[in-house]
Structure 1
């Protein structure tokens, strides 16, 4: 999105307690606030972090200063209390375009290499994640990269997430992660209209797939998604059937024809440590 506003902030803490949908994690971690990808369906649009800002969601990103310094301290304290499992990130993509220049996420990963958590889950849709393969390799089986690929159809991607990275670049990134033996999964969340070839496209790249939709995954049974008018996009495209609560079933059925059933997860189970 053009004319984005960037602001440097100085938070007192960098990690938060895992709650609700992510109660399986001891902590959540957001290197940035806001998100340049501005996905039409993003449930964060309806959360206080977005509602209390005067700027449109997608037009601003806050860059958290001294993030790694804070995390190093917090990790030491947290590890004394028990297992530390981290979900990065819940309300932003840790690989914002500005990460190329700022390196906040990379600095956090460097801190975690020095003071490893028991498990780190990295949720992104950005091919920039490939830059940090060297650090993921040092974390070994303590890390899992979750690459969002909602559809295999680029024209659909452009209708719903025009500011997000192209599908081909995300697929290439999964290939690079696989070649480097970095644990990774493809996350079809939320499901968007896709082709019958989608499972075969992912089969050589991952051995783990998570399928989620608006109703299971937006934290409010689909209410947040309805309130931002997603149904109108489906109606405009003549794809209303894909918006129904049972639409995920046909996608799931396609995937279990190609993947072993134990490699295909639905909603929350696919995000757990």
Structure 2
């Protein structure tokens, strides 16, 4: 069970969520109560990493809102701690809180590359783009030590399998060599999310994500390695970051991005309460305006899950953002689309002892 009252700031320094609110599957919740006895202050929350042995690597989906039907996730939970992260509710499936547990109780899947290799080797497998980073970030801080993502890319390179990566993490620069090699054959592309150019806003909203300038540098490093990069203005937070759209696209293009996309803020399930608490504490002067605009975007609710509009929103403000985005694309020369990745190069690499082909 998780505490539903705000955790003292001294314990959650460097984190975004204020609480460790109970997830939607739990019947009971706990609350910390001061009983008057003297006691030492509890220590700051530390990141805990558990290990999971995955039974499968590739997850399938049928959503019409995304341009892929398969993905994989090297990690559960994300130390980046973005308060708006739509993946937070997935921690509830583990019996953990989408609040501070999501940021501090992480799960790594170090056997994912081997499992992936076995799945790609099955006789009936048919290649299509594998999307990575669509739930939690594959280049969050623990990847620096774990190196799971690099080994996954090595598997995909060896199978000549197309991959699309989305991240906010600058650690991706480490893998520019593999991604550049794959991109040269039309097998890789990357999306870098830049939510704001203001370091203070970024630190408050996404406390353990590399700053905006660092992410723009990652775009440059990847572009110089020959990787097609999309700058993603995502999510657009109304009355907080929406005025920065054009500047983000301009700086992304200057850094070497060739395409762009934009998604409005959405607050599914527990994310709604977590974001409301955060914005009330962090921006009390505009909290009511921000939440009011979010609800306007989603038909009077914090979130409308309907396909076709959950990522774009509806209403006058959403229409205005789409028009601004189109004008900014024309001015910067960025494209909405990247060329399709190739699937015709796929092949299962020979294993030690296999008979090699003469042709």
Normalising by structure 2, we get a TM-score of: 0.65
Contact 1:44 1:50 in 2 (8 A): no
Query: Which residue of the partner structure matches residue 259 of structure 1?
Result: 329
Q: What are structure 2's unaligned runs of at least 5 residues?
A: 1-13, 15-44, 298-315, 342-359
1:201 matches 2:245: no
| More helix, by proportion | 1
- Give distance in 2, aligned partners of 1:159 and 1:250: 27
Of 160, 166, 177, which aligns to 2:222?
177
RMSD, aligned α-carbons: 2.9
Query: Which residue of the partner structure matches residue 306 of structure 2?
Result: none
Superposed CA deviations along residues 85-108 of structure 1, whole A, max 9, x for unmatched, are 211023210012111111000010
- Give distance in 1, aligned partners of 2:65 and 2:59: 11
Distance 1:9 1:232, change over 3 A: closer
Within-5 A mapping of 1:11-30: 11-20=54-63, 24-30=67-73
Query: Which residue of the partner structure matches residue 264 of structure 2?
Result: 213
1:168 matches 2:219: no
Contact 2:249 2:260 in 1 (8 A): no
Query: Which residue of the partner structure matches residue 36 of structure 1?
Result: 79
- For the pair shown, which has the larger CA radius of gyration, 1 or 2? 2
Normalising by structure 1, we get a TM-score of: 0.83
- Give distance in 1, aligned partners of 2:321 and 2:173: 27
Distance 1:198 1:84, change over 3 A: closer
Structure 1 residue 247, shift from structure 2 partner: 4.4
Query: Which residue of the partner structure matches residue 84 of structure 1?
Result: 128
Structure 1 residue 165, shift from structure 2 partner: 1.3
Distance 1:114 1:213, change over 3 A: same
Structure 1 residue 74, shift from structure 2 partner: 0.8
Distance 1:198 1:90, change over 3 A: closer
Query: Which residue of the partner structure matches residue 69 of structure 1?
Result: 114
Contact 2:194 2:212 in 1 (8 A): yes
1:97 matches 2:145: no
Distance 1:114 1:180, change over 3 A: same
Give the secondary-structure state (helix, strand or coil) at the position aligned to 2:101: coil
Contact 2:80 2:206 in 1 (8 A): yes
Distance 1:200 1:23, change over 3 A: closer
Contact 1:95 1:128 in 2 (8 A): yes
Structure 1 residue 256, shift from structure 2 partner: 3.4
